């Protein structure tokens, strides 16, 4: 944890003058790592009780926070709140906010005055891909950081060319800076650590200049009619629509036994599914446009804000309210 804190402190440019504020649960590695950042930098560390969209900026201001941590849907939730003249009444300058949709970065900074920083890290791998505040590039996580090495491989374990998607493999030059395995789970340990590389299970692209772009969790890639569809890409397009507050895209079984694309949408008000499809047409390949759609009041999430897509997949297409391939185009059913 010490080496991790030292590494991330450098990446985030944290100093003894900073006040770090988190409302993330302490069982999550992000909150523990933020504590070690404070230890190695001399910064002040303030822990809030829990995330509340209505109270977040007030709590951050009360803590005199200069840096904070936003995971999962926290950015989208804060951005979806009605604009207020009090939006900038705080001292937060930047936030670590991995996987924020590119379209939200400028909007968030213009409204709240906060730079959102991307990067790649996990409980197992430390923060191994990142960029500093001045180098942030919308839609990209950053470059491999000193002390780490990365490969991108295909399903056969062969390296792919820059610009092509594949699984991200990582390892560290420093001892004890990576997890060494899963406690009491030898099979999972062997499955993830192969040939001296940690297999992340994440599908990414590395460009010619060494910058990395996240595509999807491999288990969340949708295989439809011979095409690989990134659920993240579809979600990013749908979030751009003014009627969409939040969305999760996932695979459901079709009558032909293959994957179909379904979207569970948290609307901002009334929503027209046909108009939403028309919005997607110039922005997505035709095979990636959701066949099934449904609205819901909220998405099922873990304690750290990740959507529980397995829960949605288990519910299947029978929860759909709309099927663009159906004759009637509408299926009467309950919300997801």
This prediction's pTM: 0.75
Give the residue from 304, 22, 3, 219 showing the smallest Cα distance to 127.
Answer: 3
Residue pLDDT tens, the chain, 336 long: 777 888 899 999 999 999 999 998 888 788 889 999 999 999 999 999 889 989 999 999 999 999 999 987 788 889 888 899 999 999 999 999 988 888 788 899 999 999 999 999 888 888 899 999 999 998 899 999 998 999 999 989 999 999 999 999 999 988 778 888 888 999 988 989 988 899 999 999 999 999 999 988 888 888 887 678 889 889 989 999 999 999 999 988 876 667 889 999 999 888 899 999 999 999 999 989 999 999 998 898 877 677 888 888 888 766 678 888 774 443 333 345
Three-state SS for 34?
A: helix
The span from the CA of 304 to the CA of 94, in Å, is 20
Spans of all domains in the chain:
2-117, 138-218, 221-323
| Class of the CATH domain delimited by 2-117 | alpha beta
In the chain, DSSP assigns E strands to 19-22, 44-47, 67-69, 94-96, 115-117, 119-122, 126-130, 143-144, 148-153, 166-172, 193-194, 197-206, 212-217, 222-224, 227-229, 244-253, 259-267, 292-295, 322-323
In CATH, 221-323 is 3.30.300.30: yes
The pLDDT score that the predictor gives to residue 304 is 65
CATH number of 138-218: 2.30.38.10
């Amino acid at each position: 944890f010490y080496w991790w804190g030292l590494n991330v402190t450098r990446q985030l440019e944290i100093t003894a003058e900073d006040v770090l504020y988190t409302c993330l649960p302490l069982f999550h590695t992000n909150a523990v790592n933020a504590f070690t950042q404070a230890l190695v930098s001399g910064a002040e560390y303030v822990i809030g009780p829990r995330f509340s969209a209505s109270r977040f900026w007030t709590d951050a201001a009360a803590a005199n926070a200069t840096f904070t941590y936003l995971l999962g849907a926290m950015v989208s939730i804060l951005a979806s709140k009605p604009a207020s003249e009090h939006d900038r009444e705080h001292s937060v300058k930047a936030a670590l906010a991995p996987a924020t949709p590119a379209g939200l970065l400028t909007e968030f900074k213009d409204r709240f005055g906060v730079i959102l920083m991307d990067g790649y890290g996990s409980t197992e791998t430390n923060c191994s891909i990142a960029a500093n505040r001045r180098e942030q590039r919308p839609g990209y996580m950053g470059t491999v950081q000193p002390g780490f090495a990365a490969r991108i491989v295909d399903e056969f374990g062969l390296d792919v060319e820059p610009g092509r998607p594949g699984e991200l493999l990582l390892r560290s030059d420093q001892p004890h800076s990576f997890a060494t395995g899963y406690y009491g789970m030898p099979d999972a340990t062997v499955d993830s650590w192969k040939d001296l590389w940690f297999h992340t299970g994440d599908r990414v692209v590395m460009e010619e200049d060494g910058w990395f772009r996240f595509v999807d969790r491999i288990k969340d890639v949708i295989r439809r009619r011979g095409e690989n569809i990134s659920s993240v890409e579809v979600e990013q397009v749908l979030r751009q629509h003014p009627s969409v507050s939040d969305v999760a895209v996932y695979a459901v079984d079709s009558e032909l036994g293959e994957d179909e694309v379904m979207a569970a949408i948290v609307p901002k008000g009334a929503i027209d599914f046909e108009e939403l499809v028309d919005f997607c047409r110039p922005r997505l390949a035709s095979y990636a446009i959701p066949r099934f759609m449904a609205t819901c009041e909220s998405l099922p999430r873990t304690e750290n804000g990740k959507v529980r897509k397995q829960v949605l997949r288990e519910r299947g297409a029978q929860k759909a309210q709309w099927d663009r391939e159906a004759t009637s185009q509408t299926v009467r059913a309950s919300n997801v």
